[in-house]
Every structure is written in C-alpha cells, then in structure tokens.
C-alpha cells in the first residue's frame, strides 16, 4: 500500500497509476490507447442544433485525460488532499483535480482500478475545457468495454470556442477561478448580435456505449439568465461517430416557449462535421407569395445531406395551398409569350401544386459558396418560367489596409422591387463586387460607411418596353449614414438582468437625427450611363423602457430623402426612380410582449404616376421576449408575407 497524506493539495505526477500499461502483457492495450490519442483530432467532430455544438464523446475526453499518462507523465497531473493505492486500486480524496492539455476534471472523490481499467468519480464533478463546463453527480467508465454513464448532467457550452478549447492549455493555477464558473445561470448578460453561441443544457443520464452516447431527454436553453423563456427538449437523443463526422438522431422534439407553449419539430437523422453550418430553424414554414405561388403555401425542411466533406444541401419541398384550392394559377405568362409578358390566369395542373427550394452551402479554397434554387411548379412545360436561381462566392480580403468583401455571383430570374416601377427581375447575369463596410462612433455619433465597386454582364427587361436587353454594367457606389443624438438617455451599461423580460439590451431612448448621404454612378453599353446624389435627414423618437406591461415602448421615425439624378439605365430593374420619398416607421408595445411594427415609403415625386402612394410597406404583429421573437408579417406592396422567428444570444 502506498499512502501519501498530511500535505494539502500536494501535486503528484501519476505515471505510477498506469505503470501496468507498459508491461509486455498489456502492450496491445497500450497500442490501442496511443493510437486513440494520436488520432484524437480526427475523431473529434461537432454537432450543431442552431448554434449548439457537442464534443463527440465526453468520455473520450476522459480517456485522453487519463489513459496517456504513462506516455507523457510530465503533462498530466493529479492534485488532491489525499491519495493512496490498495490492491491495484488508486484512491484520490478531497478536492481532486486531474489536468491534461487544457482539460480539467474536478471531483470530491476519484478511484481507478488498474487491473480492470475502470474509473469512477463521485461528488461535485466538473469537466472543464476552456469555456465548456459540465457538472455531473457521478461518472463511471470502463476503458476495456468502453461503456459507462454520467448522471445528473448540467452544462454550459460555448459553440464558438468549443474546438479551440479542446486543444488549449489550462493551468492548475487557474483553479481558483472555478467557483465563478459553477453558476451556469448568470446574474447579468450581454447580447451577442446575430450569434447564439452560449447554451445551458441538462439531462438526467448520458449512457456511453463505445462511440455512441444516448440520453432519453436533453434540454437546452439560450436564456442563460433564467432558462425559462426558451427550451429545446430533444427526445431519444443519440449521437455516434462515423469516419470524420458525428451523426445525430432524435425522435419528436419540442420548442418550449415560456414553459407554456410547446411547438413540435423533427430533426430525424442528421450528419454533422466541421464544414456543416446547421442552423436551428423550424422544420415547417408557412408563407404567402402572390406573385410566384398564387398565395398561401407551406414548406417542410428535410434533413441536410452531405454532398462531400465541404458541401451540404438543404431541401424544402413546398405545397402551394391556395393554388391547389382554386385550381387556377396567375403566376405564369401565356404559353408562347415572352417571359416579360403579362401574367395571365391559367388552369393549374396537378404538378403546379408543388414546389421546392434548395440550398447548397460549402467552401471552395477558403471561399464561401452558396447556391439557392426555387422551383414554383413541377410542370415541365413551365420549368423555365418556374425556376429562379442565385449563386454567390465570397470571402473577406485585405485591400488598401482595410477589410473588404469580395464576391462573384450568378443569377437567373432574380426578383427586384424598384419602387414605383414595381416588380421586375434580372433575367440572367453574372458579375463581381468589391465592398467595404465600416461602422464606428465619434462623440456619440454612430456612423456607417459603405463603398462598393461592381462589374457585371446582365440581361433584363428594357426600361421602355417588354423586350429583353443585355449589357455590361460598371457601378461605383458610396454612402454614409449617421445617427446623431440630440437629447438621448444612453444606458450606462449594455448588460441586462432578469428584470428585462422583453428586450435583449437596454433601450437607448430620446430624440436623435438620422442622416444619409449617397452617390452612385453606373455605366452601360454604348456609353449610356446614369448617376445620382442622394441626401436625407429626419428625426427618430424613442420613448419608454419596455419593462412594464403596457405602452412602455414607442418608436417613431420620419425620413425624407431626395435624389438629384442624371441619365437613364437601359434596364427597368435598376432605373433610378422616385426622386423624392418619405420613409415612415412606427413601433408600439401594446401589452406585455405584444408589439406592433410598421414601416413604409411614400412616393412624393410629383412627376410620378404613383405620387402620394406607398411604394414599399411592411406590417407585423410580434411576440417579443428577451431570448426570442415570433411574428406574423405582411408586405402590401408586393403581396408577400410569412412568419418570422428569431433566437437571441448572450454571454
């Protein structure tokens, strides 16, 4: 028996824990463990539900913590109040810490059976990989059968840093910071715009069986303040590794809002790898599109397919409800007419009742590629009229000591709304664009500057006829937008606590002035060109804190905008029209989380046939909470609408 006691927190290099691994009779086991460690990077993959990512197998990480100790004992340490060995069983008691390459295991008690290669830990167990935290009441695992379990698991996952944390270093001198990490729910949080990286999760039991881990029900929440507003209940969760990807299965799952409303959704079986960008989106969608789909339609998003290591495809079959009920369609021109002709009412065939939307996403030599197709009928006679296509290849580059977005694109029948000229489209085209966008603040004034240069070859409806014309186009564009505070009560901090039930950041209320300066020059074939200088300014008034139940938030904005133009485009879709417009915005909290949002643009160009009319408009009724927002919207100007749902992230 080896007994070491009396010295608190004594650090012991524990190559003796696994000395039997290097005995000749155990060489096969040792080779397997070393092979596992050498291939650790290839075995690690990620699972993303919206922005949720998981390590492939928590116990695989434990294996890397303990099993390779005999090979690199100078990198692995165990720290505890007391350690002993009896009959080839190692006992560590009191404030046990095991650290290896940034992975930290903390427990009250830990035992390791050297003969049977079984590890057991009990009492206040923590697994910490950088920003990733897992709290467990009990851990059991066999390195021979590769089976085990975790009980009463709670965790905090930062999906943005997960892969980095798995390979980072953690110093035991940082162990005094652990107490600050133990509280998974935070007292104050800061919104992370357009990102949901941090999640709290819990499950009663995770069972490990080889490369598979299972849980009857796992609960996730992006509401790291209280975990009440949004919960994802994932049922019959099973994840297993296959080659260099993680496959994920579940049964019927539920999105639970405010612990009262449960919305079912289905993930089915999916594959996840480093290249897959899987967002949390509802499997079902409902929309309204009068132009292409004759009104109301419903869609069902299928599981993503891996085309290769770098590409995935998303498919959404659609059923066009209103077209099928009416038995008529007015989304296509008369047979034999030009694509730019007037759409006429035609009898709908059975194949007209269905459509599909597809997205292909991936990387090509560090460039991001996205291809979107929309087919609004499966009638082969209407295929060219029913298809819309758009692709973009882009990346961020350094140019002139600044960051620019460089893109190449191609389109087929891309819809464009051009104010009083109405709905039009780019029939076909391809081009390239270089754009720089810069946002900064000077003495409380928020500024956004955009500079872009574009070159393309386009084909579209002519400005003064229904004929199709094509031409190269070069464009130079610049804009500067400013928000100037006049009498604004700026919050002292952007942090929020649980008293902020409806908003993800404090309201910046008061009176401010919005301004915009813009200029554009476009050059076409045969020396034709058009250019304009635009300028506008108008007030924006925000009242209330959006914290009480009724009428505690109001936003009103008025923005007149003038354009001084010269020349004409040869196309209808980019003709500079509506030389004088007025943008109006009005948002109002009605009761609790119920909020009315509206915006529109009035044409004040006296030379226009649509003088005094709304040429752009949107109205929505939203249920707005700190962690999510749900709404129904309609756009009268182009007779389109749908349902929106957003999750908000915090740190």
Distances (CA, A) of 329 to 294, 362, 408: 6, 36, 35
What percent of the chain clears pLDDT 70, i.e. is strictly above it?
78
Q: What is the pTM of this model?
A: 0.73
Are 354 and 319 in contact by the 8 Å Cβ rule? The answer is yes
Give the other-Cβ count within 10 Å of 293's Cβ: 24
**127-155 confidence digits (pLDDT tens):** 776 677 888 998 888 878 888 888 998 88
State the Cα–Cα distance between residues 84 and 64, nearest whole angstrom.
22
Q: Give the integer Cα–Cα distance in Å for 253 and 267.
A: 8
Min mean pLDDT across 52-56, 186-190, 371-375, 430-434 is at 52-56
3-state secondary structure of 465: coil
- Chain segment 614-650, per-residue pLDDT in tens: 999 999 999 999 999 999 999 988 888 888 888 888 8
DSSP β-bridge partners for residue 372: 359, 390
Mean pLDDT of the chain: 79
pLDDT in tens, 354-412: 999 999 998 888 899 999 999 999 999 898 899 999 999 999 999 888 899 999 999 99
46 pLDDT exceeds 50?
no
> Which pair of structure tokens corresponds to residue 186?
């935070």
Q: Which residues of 469-478 are buried (b: 16+ CB within 10 A; e: fewer)?
A: bebebebebe
Q: Give every CB contact of residue 619 below 8 A, 6+ residues apart in sequence.
A: 596, 597, 598, 633, 634, 636
**Other CB atoms closer than 10 Å to residue 284's CB: what's the count?**
15
Q: Give the integer Cα–Cα distance in Å for 197 and 52.
A: 7
| CB neighbour list of residue 538: distance below 8 Å, 6 or more residues apart | 513, 514, 557, 558, 559, 560, 583
What pLDDT is attached to residue 24? 29
Contact 240, 198 (CB under 8 A): no
Adjacent-strand bridge partners of 140:
120, 149
Q: Check residue 243 and give its pLDDT.
A: 52
Lowest average pLDDT, out of 50-54, 189-193, 608-612, goes to 50-54
Pull the structure tokens for residue 67. 């099993």
pLDDT in tens, 511-556: 999 999 999 999 999 899 999 999 999 999 999 999 999 999 999 9
Query: What are the helix (H) ranges across 44-193?
Result: 58-66, 162-165
Rounded Cα–Cα distance for residues 272 and 276 (Å): 6
What's the CA gap between 486 and 251, in Å, rounded? Answer: 55
CA 119 to CA 62: how far, in whole Å? Answer: 9
Scan for tokens 């804190």, then name that residue: 545
Among candidate residues 20, 103, 18, the one with its CA nearest the CA of residue 69: 18
SS3 per-residue string spanning 293-352 = HCEEEEEECCCCEECCCCEEEEEEEEECHHHHHHCEEEEEECCCCCCCCCEEEEECCHHH
Q: What pLDDT is attached to residue 335? A: 83
| Among 608, 480, 614, 611, residue whose Cα is nearest residue 535 | 480
Q: Lowest mean pLDDT: which of 110-114, 180-184, 365-369?
A: 180-184
Does residue 112 register a pLDDT over 60? Answer: yes
Selection from 115, 187, 126, 179 nearest residue 152 by Cα: 126
Highest-pLDDT range among 5-14, 44-53, 168-177, 436-445: 436-445
* Interatomic CA distance for residues 312 and 269, integer angstroms: 14
* Of 537 and 35, more confident: 537
Q: How far apart are CA 406 and CA 366, in angstroms?
A: 12
Residues in the chain: 651
Task: Please give the pLDDT value at position 349.
Answer: 92
Query: Residue 83 forms beta bridges with which residues?
Result: 4, 92
Mean pLDDT, to the nearest integer, of 83-101?
81
Tokens of 595: 């909020």
In tens, the pLDDT along 305-354 reads 777 777 888 899 999 999 999 999 999 988 878 788 888 999 999 999 99
Ordered by where they begin, the domains of the chain are: 2-242 (no CATH), 400-650 (2.40.160)
Torsion of CA 546, 549, 552, 558, to 10 degrees: 90
Bridging pattern class, strands 554-567 and 580-591: antiparallel
Q: How many CB atoms lie within 10 A of CB 259?
A: 11
Residue-wise pLDDT for 285-306, tens only, equals: 888 898 899 999 999 888 777 7
Euclidean distance between CA atoms 448 and 217, whole angstroms: 46
- pLDDT > 80? residue 73: no
pLDDT of residue 397: 92
> Containing H/E element for 539?
strand 529-543
The first and second tokens of residue 555, run together, are 């936003």
Contact residues for 56 (Cβ-Cβ < 8 A; gap 6+): 43, 44, 45, 46, 211, 239, 241, 246
- Tokens at 377, concatenated: 């009928």
**Rounded-to-integer distance, Cα 327 and Cα 322, Å:** 8
Cβ-based neighbours of 195, under 8 Å, separated by 6 or more: 51, 160, 649
How many whole angstroms separate alpha carbon 555 and alpha carbon 390?
36
> CA distances (Å), 378 to each of 26, 284, 323, 386, 630, in order?
64, 21, 13, 8, 32
Average pLDDT over residues 425-439: 95
Give the range among 70-84, 94-108, 421-435 with minimum mean pLDDT: 70-84
């Amino acid at each position: 028996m080896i007994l070491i006691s009396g010295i608190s927190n004594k650090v012991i290099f524990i190559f003796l824990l696994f000395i039997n691994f290097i005995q000749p009779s155990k060489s096969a086991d040792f080779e397997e463990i070393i092979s596992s460690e050498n291939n650790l990077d290839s075995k690690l993959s990620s699972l993303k539900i919206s922005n949720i990512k998981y390590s492939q197998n928590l116990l695989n990480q434990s294996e890397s913590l303990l099993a390779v100790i005999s090979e690199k004992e100078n990198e692995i340490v165990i720290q505890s109040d007391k350690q002993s060995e009896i009959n080839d069983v190692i006992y560590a008691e009191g404030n046990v810490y095991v650290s290896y390459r940034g992975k930290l295991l903390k427990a009250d008690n830990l035992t390791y059976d050297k003969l049977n290669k079984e590890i057991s830990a009990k009492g206040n167990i923590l697994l910490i990989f950088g920003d990733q935290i897992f709290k467990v009441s009990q851990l059991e695992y066999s390195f021979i059968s590769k089976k085990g379990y975790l009980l009463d698991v709670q965790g905090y996952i930062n999906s943005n840093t997960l892969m980095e944390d798995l390979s980072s270093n953690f110093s035991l001198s940082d162990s005094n910071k652990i107490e600050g990490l133990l509280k998974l729910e935070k007292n104050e949080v800061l919104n992370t715009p357009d990102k949901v990286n941090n999640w709290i999760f819990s499950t009663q039991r995770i069972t490990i069986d080889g490369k598979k881990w299972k849980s009857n029900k796992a609960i996730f929440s992006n509401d790291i303040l209280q975990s009440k507003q949004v919960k994802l209940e994932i049922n019959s969760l099973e994840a297993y590794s296959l080659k260099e990807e993680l496959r994920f299965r579940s049964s019927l799952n539920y999105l639970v809002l405010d612990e009262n409303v449960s919305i079912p959704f289905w993930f089915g079986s999916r594959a996840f790898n480093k290249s897959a960008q899987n967002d949390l989106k509802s499997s079902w969608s409902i929309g309204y599109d009068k132009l292409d789909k004759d009104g109301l339609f419903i869609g069902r998003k299928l599981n993503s397919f891996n085309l290769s290591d770098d590409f995935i495809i998303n498919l959404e079959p659609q059923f066009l409800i209103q077209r099928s009920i009416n038995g008529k369609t007015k989304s296509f021109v008369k047979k034999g007419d030009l694509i730019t002709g007037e759409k006429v009412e035609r009898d709908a065939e059975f194949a007209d009742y269905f459509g599909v939307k597809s997205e292909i996403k991936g990387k090509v030599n560090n460039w991001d590629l996205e291809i979107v197709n929309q087919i609004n009928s499966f009638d082969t006679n209407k295929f060219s009229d029913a298809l819309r296509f758009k692709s973009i290849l882009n990346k961020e580059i350094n140019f002139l000591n600044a960051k620019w977005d460089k893109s190449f694109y191609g389109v087929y029948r891309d819809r464009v709304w051009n104010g009083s000229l109405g709905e039009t489209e780019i029939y076909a085209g391809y081009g390239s664009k270089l754009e720089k966008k810069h946002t900064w603040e000077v003495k409380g004034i928020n500024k956004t500057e955009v500079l872009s240069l574009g070159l393309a070859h386009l084909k579209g409806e002519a400005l003064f006829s229904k004929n199709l014309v094509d031409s190269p186009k070069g464009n130079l564009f610049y804009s500067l937008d400013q928000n100037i505070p006049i009498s604004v009560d700026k919050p002292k901090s952007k942090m929020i606590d649980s008293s902020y039930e409806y908003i993800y950041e404090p309201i910046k209320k008061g009176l401010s002035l919005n301004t915009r300066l813009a200029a554009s020059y476009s050059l076409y074939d045969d020396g034709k060109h058009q250019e304009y200088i635009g300028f506008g300014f108008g007030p924006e008034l925000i009242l209330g804190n959006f914290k009480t139940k009724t009428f505690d938030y109001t936003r009103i904005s008025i923005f007149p905008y003038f354009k001084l133009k010269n020349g004409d485009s040869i196309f209808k879709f980019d003709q500079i029209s509506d030389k004088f417009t007025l943008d109006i915005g009005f948002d109002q909290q009605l009761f609790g989380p119920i909020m009315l949002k509206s915006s529109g643009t009035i044409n004040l160009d006296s030379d226009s046939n649509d003088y005094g009319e709304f040429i752009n408009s949107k109205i929505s009724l939203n249920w707005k909470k700190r962690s999510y927002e749900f709404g129904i919207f309609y756009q009268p100007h182009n007779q389109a609408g749908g349902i929106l749902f957003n999750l908000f992230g915090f740190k």
